[in-house]
Amino acid sequence: MNAPSPAADHPSLFGVLAARARHATDTRLVADAAIGTSLAAAILGFRPALWVLAMPAVVVAAYGAWGIADREVAGRAPGMPRVALGVARAAALVAGLIAALGFLFGALGALLGNWIL
């Protein structure tokens, strides 16, 4: 009898987000991508100094784009090329991670200010 692995009991953040994106409707994923992109563009267009506030919108847009690309990869026939969709999925993942880290470090920098320890 096989015991369940510890990873099965505690899913990762990526696993939870991937499962959520895979169960979301197409309309929801397109809305996430469109609204996130529009909001980030508006913030960066009107107030570039507030770039940190645009990063969560980029994360939402990347989530929507990743979900769309993942759904398209899953829906392709086995013999059809998947390279472009795989690249799009990887690009959305990287963009989302960079935006999340940018927000984290930007917000941390704004909160700490010019502290010298």
Chain segment 79-96, per-residue pLDDT in tens: 566 788 888 889 999 999
Which pLDDT belongs to residue 39? 96
Give the C-alpha separation, 64 to 62, whole Å.
Answer: 5
Token pair recorded at residue 101: 């880290």
- Provide the pLDDT for residue 5: 55
Domain ranges of the chain: 58-117
Q: List the chain residues with pLDDT less than 70.
A: 1-9, 77-81, 116-117
